[in-house]
A and B are shown apart, each in its own frame.
Chain A
Amino acid sequence: MKHLFTMLAFAVLALLAPPLAAQDLLPPAPYAYKQLEDPAEEAKAQALMETLRCLKCQSQAISDSDAPMAGDMRHQVRTRIKAGEDPEAIRAWLIERYGDYVSYAPQNKPIMWPLFAAPLVILLLAAILLRGRFRKSAKPEGGE
């Protein structure tokens, strides 16, 4: 019981402690947490935001992150979609500034070709190997 109280005390202290990383006090950008009025536009924005990397918290997409910068990126994406911009154009705009790293969706670039070719190469290799196996096992049938 005493142990439990100590743990609770620590939990309360941890909640009261100031956050280590300083954050700004500005309210989030208008479209950081607000969906677009048009559901079709919002769906487009959402699909794009799920494939853009948060630069502050790099294993999250901007749609998942509560970092203020991710909020500003969502605002940017939503206002651009609202203005009629194509999602892929917005992605290209960000890639131009942050490199391919900012996008989770693989881009069709020569560096990706070996990756796309790998399954085909492996299938082909498997077919060749299996063909050899089947031939070998087919032969001793007559002998036994």
Chain B
Amino acid sequence: MIEPAPKRSGLAIWLPLILFGGFFALVIWGLVRPADREVASAFIGKPLPQFNLEAATEDRPGLATNDFKVGKPKLLNVFASWCVPCAIESPQLAALARQGVEIDGVAIRDRREDLARFLATNGNPFARIGKDDLSQVQLAIGSSGVPETFVIDGKGVIRYQHIGEIREEDMPLILAKLKEAGQ
């Protein structure tokens, strides 16, 4: 004797299809969403770790943590001569320097002669440039690429991180963050 199939509610029959539809939508969303490959620093709001980098050029001093504890917000620019977008942001850095913003550079894995050529070509907006051949400072502040720019307040606390080159349209935000850090 065949038992009659147990009665199922309407919803139970559709549930697998609904689940599949949901899963399908999730996959499509994951495929079309622009990939975010940036790793933001988790070190915002924390004081700069201790470091003391030797000078990367002949005409600018090196860079140490204490250089930031001077009561005035500054920019810390992580860059390299071999980094193509770093050349793109140089007009913006020059404009910031003209406005009286002090920009200190950390040159990642750079040779002195390459760096000198890069600065001669693109201008030198930096007050100090530290030489970071082992990416030690870069790792210590949670930076994962070049260029990146950090706003550091007058007590040496990291207040903001800008990932990628600073473009014309990023200038108001950078200036606002500097002002905020100065308050």
Contact = CB atoms under 8 A, between A and B. Distances in A.
Contacts of B144: 55-56, 69, 98
Given A22-B84, A58-B37, A75 B134 contact: yes
Contacts of B40: 99
Say what secondary structure dominates the interface of chain B: loop
Contact of B141 (A23, A76, A97): A97
Interface string A77-121: 000000000000000001111110110000000000000000000
B139 interface: yes
A97 B109 contact: no
A129 B95 CA distance: 70
Report, as a range, how many residues of chain B touch the other chain: 20 to 34
A68 B109 CA distance: 9
Interface string A55-80: 11010000000001100110110000
A29 interface: yes
Contacts of A75: 134
A73 B110 contact: no
Contact of A76 (B80, B82, B136): B136
Contact of A98 (B3, B109, B133, B142): B142
B42 A22 contact: no
A97 B133 contact: no
A25 B145 contact: no
A24 interface: yes
Interface string B153-172: 00000000000000000000
Interface string B75-110: 000001011100000000000000000000000111
Given A97-B140, A98-B39, A98-B42, A26 B133 contact: yes
B180 interface: no
Interface string B24-56: 000000000000010111110000000000000
Residue of A72, A99, A101 with most chain B CB atoms under a 10 A cut-off: A72
25 contacts: A22-B82, A24-B108, A24-B109, A24-B110, A25-B111, A25-B114, A26-B110, A29-B133, A55-B144, A55-B145, A56-B144, A58-B37, A68-B109, A69-B135, A72-B135, A72-B138, A72-B139, A73-B139, A75-B134, A76-B134, A96-B42, A97-B42, A98-B39, A98-B144, A143-B1
Interface of B: 1, 3, 37, 39-43, 80, 82-84, 108-111, 114, 133-136, 138-142, 144-145
Given A24-B109, A25-B114, A75-B134, 15 more contacts: A22-B84, A24-B111, A25-B82, A26-B109, A29-B134, A55-B39, A69-B145, A72-B139, A73-B139, A76-B136, A76-B139, A97-B140, A98-B142, A102-B39, A143-B1
